[in-house]
Homo-oligomer: A and B are copies of this chain.
Amino acid sequence: MSGKLPGGRRQPTIHEVAATAGVSIGTVSRVASESPRVAPETRARVLAAMAELGYQPNAAARAMRTNQTMTIGFLIPDMTNQVFARVAQGAETVLAPEGYMLFAFSSNRSPAREIEFLQAARQRQMDGLIVTLSDETATGTIEEIARMGVPVVVLDREIPVEADVVYSEHMQPIETVVEQLLQLGHRRIGLITASHNIRPGRDRVAGFKRALEKAGVPIDDWLIRARTQSAERGMAETHDLLTGPNPPTAILAAGSDIFYGALKAVRLLGLSIPDDISFVGADDALLGELVYPPITVIDRDMVEVGRQAAGLLLERLKGLDVPPRRIMLGSDVLLRSSIAAPKIR
């Protein structure tokens, strides 16, 4: 059993601390929990013993007694996506000062993994959760959330669960962009975005259609690609759109991974932005800025999303008992030189 690097040392317990300090375990516990009813001299002795042994209280034992773990779980579809990483960062800035530790878990967009995470969170008695589901129609996931028994904050999804939600605005910015493109003379605009199974996908398609309808431009469903979010998909759909019989003169790549893939497809086809094709990306303002020409991007402040979500959670953790709340956060359209009037053929 020994020999495990580095040392395989058994961790010291409260009993050993008590023994070295020459007090009872109750006293050690009181020192550890900073209870005031300890004589200064005793406290010093206990503290010294703790330092000497490198004592850290056993969280499992503590959790069992107190039903608190000071742990918040954060479920994200994809860890390598900066959008979600920023949310985690924002949430952490709010949670850490309150003593909560945020642990992130990536589901890789698999509902099965999401269920595993939710069960693990329940087993581990996590105090609260922030979750971004990869599919609103996965009933198993929703059932698990309903069972949690601790506060859950949902990000940008519409699910039949009594939980606080933080939404991002998706409809309006797409509308703005489409209007802009229509005004420049575009009539065939391609939209690539997430599937209808999640709110962002639905709302972007809705905003897209609304703008076209308002302008009286007929909707061609062939131009709307609402499927999986991934760079590969973004690339494939863009390639398909641009090499089709009646290609669009503008592309909306609404989603950060889709943005990468779509841009790559445009490069591979050797098309020039905005001369051959107008292009709009989303959720990666920096990339839009670094490429030449700079690309118009629909952007949102994901760190703020994280802060807001953590704020809602924190209030619940403090016992706030009110009906579910919803927060809607805006999106910005960063206009840059990647859109122009379509070429006349």
Give the complex CA separation of A3 and B69 in angstroms: 20
Contact across chains for B105 and A5 when beta carbons are under 8 A apart = no
Give the complex CA separation of A114 and B319 in angstroms: 30
Q: Report chain B residues within 8 Å CB of A195.
A: none
The smallest beta-carbon distance between A8 and chain B, in angstroms, is 6
Q: Give 1 or 0 for each of A87-107: 1 = CB within 8 Å of chain B CB.
A: 011001000100001111110
The smallest beta-carbon distance between A324 and chain B, in angstroms, is 6
Q: Report chain B residues within 8 Å CB of A123.
A: 56-59, 62
Q: Is A161 part of the binding interface, using a Cβ–Cβ cutoff of 8 Å?
A: yes
Q: Report chain B residues within 8 Å CB of A124.
A: 59-60, 71
Q: Give 1 or 0 for each of A160-194: 1 = CB within 8 Å of chain B CB.
A: 01111000000000000000000000000000000
Q: Is A61 part of the binding interface, using a Cβ–Cβ cutoff of 8 Å?
A: yes
Give the complex CA separation of A108 and B9 in angstroms: 29
Q: Report chain B residues within 8 Å CB of A61.
A: 60, 64
The smallest beta-carbon distance between A55 and chain B, in angstroms, is 10
Give the complex CA separation of A101 and B119 in angstroms: 12
The smallest beta-carbon distance between A125 and chain B, in angstroms, is 6
Majority secondary structure of chain A interface residues (helix, strand, loop or mixed): mixed
- CB-based nearest B residue for A10: B149
Give the complex CA separation of A4 and B162 in angstroms: 10
Contact across chains for A290 and B291 when beta carbons are under 8 A apart = yes
Q: Is A201 part of the binding interface, using a Cβ–Cβ cutoff of 8 Å?
A: no
Contact partner, A321, options B4, B10, B146, Cβ 8 Å: B4
Q: Is A25 part of the binding interface, using a Cβ–Cβ cutoff of 8 Å?
A: no
Contact across chains for A290 and B316 when beta carbons are under 8 A apart = no
The smallest beta-carbon distance between A254 and chain B, in angstroms, is 17
- With A79-B89, A80-B85, A105-B104 known as contacts, the answer to whether A5 contacts B163 (CB < 8 A) is yes
Q: Report chain B residues within 8 Å CB of A162.
A: 5-7
Contact partner, A145, options B6, B146, B267, Cβ 8 Å: B6
Contact across chains for A56 and B264 when beta carbons are under 8 A apart = no
Q: Is A38 part of the binding interface, using a Cβ–Cβ cutoff of 8 Å?
A: no
Contact across chains for B79 and A88 when beta carbons are under 8 A apart = yes
The smallest beta-carbon distance between A150 and chain B, in angstroms, is 7
Q: Report chain B residues within 8 Å CB of A324.
A: 5
Contact across chains for A5 and B152 when beta carbons are under 8 A apart = yes
Q: Which residues of A contact B (CB under 8 A)?
A: 3-11, 54, 56-64, 69, 71, 79-80, 82, 85-86, 88-89, 92, 96, 101-106, 108, 113, 117, 119-120, 122-125, 145-152, 161-164, 231, 260, 263-264, 267, 286-287, 289-292, 316, 319, 321, 324
User: Can you sample 7 A-B contacts with CB below 8 Å?
Assistant: A5-B316, A6-B148, A6-B149, A59-B60, A92-B106, A92-B108, A287-B287
Q: Known contacts A4-B321, A80-B82, A290-B291; can you find 14 more A-B pairs with CB under 8 A?
A: A4-B149, A6-B148, A6-B149, A54-B147, A56-B119, A60-B61, A61-B64, A71-B124, A82-B82, A89-B106, A101-B117, A103-B103, A267-B290, A267-B292
